[in-house]
Amino acid sequence: MTAFLAQNLAPIMFAALVFFLLLGYPVAFSLGAVGLFFFVVGVELAPFSGGAITLSWNLLQSMPARVFDVMRNETLLAIPFFTFMGLILERSGMAEDLLETVGQLFGEIRGGLALAVVFVGALLAATTGIVAASVIAMGLISLPIMLRYGYDRRLATGVIAASGTLAQIIPPSLVLIVLADQLGRSVGDMYKAAIVPGLTLAALYAFYVMMMALIFPASAPGLPSEDVGHREPDGSRGLLSLGVLTLLSAAFAAWVLSGSHYEGIDYAILSMTWAVAFALAVALLNRALLTFTGRSFLSGIAERVTFVMVPPLLLIFLVLGTILIGIATPTEGGAMGAVGALALAAIKRMSDGDVRRFNFDIVRQATESTAKLAAFVMFILLGARIFTLTFYGVNGHVWVEHLLTSTPGGMYGFLIVINIAIFLLAFFLDFFELCFILVPLLVPAAEAIFTSAPEAVALAKSFGMEVVTVTDASGVPREAVADVTPFIIWFGVLLAVNMQTAFMHPPFGFALYYLRSVAPRQSYRDRVTGRVMPPVTTGEIYWGAIPFLCIQLVMVALLMLLPSMAIEKAQPREVPPVVERTHMPPSGEGERGFALPPSPPSIEGAHDVPLSGPGAPTLDMRDLPSFSAPERAAPRAAPP
């Protein structure tokens, strides 16, 4: 029985952790307690394990070093920076301005308010990276307006909760930072790989809203014309002026970057920056002209959209642009984003003359919330370090690797099993807990499968990656992927999209809780129409989340079937040109130039040594040479 426990301590330890988590104990303390308890058990059972358990009491001395490694992790330092930036922007009213302006822009279109929520959700995700801030802001601002104009309650609550979760996948996402740290890969590479899937998911949300507005027009009506503001004196919307400004800004950016070496995401970020700078310069010139002459060449909606869109787009460049182009590390980009958020909030206060936009209380509240989140993450990470120390000591990583690599279906079977497990565990665990508990256990198995699976090898060849031939343990040559980093990045983005479902799972989704906290629980009187509005029930929030949860699962399947969304085609290596060297023949008889003589030179007085045969020099070191002086016979004493 003792030998059986010793050989199977890893699965018993994992089952114990799941048991304590289901009982509701805090994750950080459950990880630490299970890790320390099974460390003691593992040390006692080590003699009966046949070498499977490598724990000893001396191993505990490495724990302080592991704790300080966590404290010195510069990658995780980006988490409080991005959190602080998002909280400052959320409290300064940027989300309110975006929703009001974009809602007016899309208002007359069927489903326009819902489309505005998706668009603003993507912008807030690219600037704040915090789900709670996005969901609460849009729930407070957009939900009453959507209910006022007769939107279906399930559609209204579902699109707000789902758009808020875009902060999980669109950079600068906190999930991507933690995943990059746990996967041992670059945060910049994770950001670059997650942009296309994140924008695709936002497009799927918008497509669903448009289909609902087309099939069920009463569920997503457009705003009445009299309720759409920002009109010109002649009653027109002024959209032509906005379209011309957009085209001119795009043309200016293309002209500035013509002939540059940038491409892909780098080109998009820089072109957006130049376009925003041009539009801002035109809007400022229009404002100055209007102030001094009373004339303007831009419509009101064009100027309003420009001034409202500049802060988030500027922060996108400050954070994402500097990281993706390689100017700054993620931590440095987060620091610039935090300083930029403070500066934008201060400018907003000065331009609006509203003290509520930025004051000491806002900074204090943001600092306190940031400190709480940072401490929460740190304690979970410390508990995870204790757990993994013991789990690796009982060969748990080997057990997990053998368990996952033996799944049928090869690489795709592995991905399907992992994503199903993540989806089910997301009912009970949030993304921090999933990242710190499961991801470190999945990395060895993922690297092994992506290295040798035939599907991975074929995929690597299609992307132009290097494939080498290796010999396995049985001596059979096989093909293997030389560098699995692109596959691990793809795997991480796949996990990030799947972990989004943790926020949308009824009844445990955190986004649903955030929306429930700001949605009206009782009947209320609308302050504009004066009508008595019924409350939003919890069931309506849950039913509204299910279609968007299905869209997230469709996105997981798309990303699994189309890895090109996250993997770039490898650039061909530049092979240096081969310089042909011309051999110069000897210039005369007996001259060899720089060539060596055909035989070693002879040394006068030295013994002749044969170059081959029994007496030739050899590299055989079985008989080591002796460097001690040979014993000499003692001299005979002289006869008396």
167 vs 589, higher pLDDT: 167
- The pLDDT assigned to 181 comes to 84
Residue indicated by tokens 């994750």: 27
Q: Which of 120-129, 250-259, 527-536 has the highest mean pLDDT?
A: 250-259
DSSP E strands: which ranges in 109-208?
none
Q: How confident is the model at residue 205 (pLDDT cuts 50, 70, 90)?
A: very high
Structure tokens at 603: 């040394």
Identify which of 423, 422, 455, 426 has the alpha carbon closest to the alpha carbon of residue 439: 422
155 vs 606, higher pLDDT: 155
Residue indicated by tokens 């014309």: 225
Mean per-residue pLDDT, 208-215: 90
Q: How confident is the model at residue 636 (pLDDT cuts 50, 70, 90)?
A: low
Residue 470's DSSP bridge partners are: 478
- The pLDDT assigned to 606 comes to 59
Q: How many residues does the chain have?
A: 640
Residue 525's DSSP bridge partners are: 532
- Distance between CA atoms of residues 401 and 504, nearest Å: 30
Contact in structure between 127 and 316 (CB atoms under 8 Å): yes
What helix, strand, coil percent values describe the chain, rounded to 5? 65, 0, 30
Write the pLDDT tens digit of every residue in 368-403: 988 888 888 888 888 888 888 888 888 887 788 787
Q: Which residues contact 548 (CB under 8 A, 6 or more apart)?
A: 158, 159, 161, 162, 205, 208, 504
Contact in structure between 345 and 358 (CB atoms under 8 Å): yes
- The pLDDT assigned to 174 comes to 80
Q: How confident is the model at residue 621 (pLDDT cuts 50, 70, 90)?
A: very low
Write the pLDDT tens digit of every residue in 31-48: 889 888 988 888 888 887
Q: What is the 3-state secondary structure (H, E, C) of 313-363?
A: HHHHHHHHHHHHHCCCCHHHHHHHHHHHHHHHHHHHHHHHCCHHHCCHHHH
Identify which of 293, 288, 304, 308 has the alpha carbon closest to the alpha carbon of residue 242: 304
- In a 13 Å sphere around the CA of 476, the CA atoms on its Cβ side amount to 3
Q: How confident is the model at residue 207 (pLDDT cuts 50, 70, 90)?
A: very high
